[in-house]
Amino acid sequence: MPKPYFNDNNKIKEILMVNHAGEFGAQRIYQGQLAFTKNHNDISTIQHMLEQELEHLNYFENEIKNGQSKPTFLLPLWSVLGYVLGALSAIAGTKTSMLVTESVEEVIVNHYQEQIEYLENSGNQSQLLIKIKQFKQEEAEHIEIAIKNDSKNAELYSALSKMVKTMCNMAIYLSKRL
Ligand SMILES: [Fe+2]
Ligand SMILES: [Fe+2]
């Protein structure tokens, strides 16, 4: 009998669903930033991160298409909220858009770390684990890029960062369930 792809089907379905939602939201944030940034120097930086998000999204989209899970029905909401968050932060300026990147990616990195631990503990050496490790590494690079671009010196850093992280955690909570 072939080894089952995954040990805990429901948990894996949830992981794919929430990661798909997260990567979908992430690329919408960067699209919003790209469309509204006033600083020409930011374009290639944001473009680079956007391209990586599209690769991440593409992976989870294919897993869903292969029948491993389904998309959250909240995608249209994440589409609008992500884009608006990106747009507003870019209008506020480079530091604020980098603050959004730093905060969002911090939540995602922690979230991916939890999944990595789960997959490792369940003895799962699947392609999914490899992919999540790779994506987590790239999200961590996005944090470094944001900090290099002065995210920590954005106005209202601590309030805005808390707000963005809370929004992301709520989106994660809902995207696992709906
Ligand atoms: Fe990503
Ligand atoms: Fe990212």
Cα–ligand 1 centroid distance for 92 (angstroms): 23
Residue 4 lies in a domain: no
Q: Are 160 and 102 in contact (CB under 8 A)?
A: no
Rounded to whole angstroms, what are the CA distances from 1 to 4, 75, 128?
Answer: 9, 37, 21
Rounded to whole angstroms, what are the CA distances from 49 to 5, 71, 98, 140?
Answer: 31, 23, 11, 11
Residue 131 lies in a domain: yes
Residue 57 lies in a domain: yes
120: domain CATH number is 1.20.910
Radius of gyration, alpha carbons of the chain = 16
Give residue 8's pLDDT: 74
What are the tens digits of pLDDT across the range 76-118?
A: 999 999 999 999 999 999 999 999 999 999 999 999 999 999 9
How many domains are contained in the chain? 1
Ligand nearest to the CA of 56: 1
Residue 167 lies in a domain: yes
Cα–ligand 1 centroid distance for 1 (angstroms): 35
Cα–ligand 1 centroid distance for 135 (angstroms): 6
What are the tens digits of pLDDT across the range 25-46?
A: 999 999 999 999 998 889 999 9
Give the three-state DSSP class for 177: helix
Cα–ligand 1 centroid distance for 121 (angstroms): 23
Residue 143 lies in a domain: yes
Give residue 2's pLDDT: 42
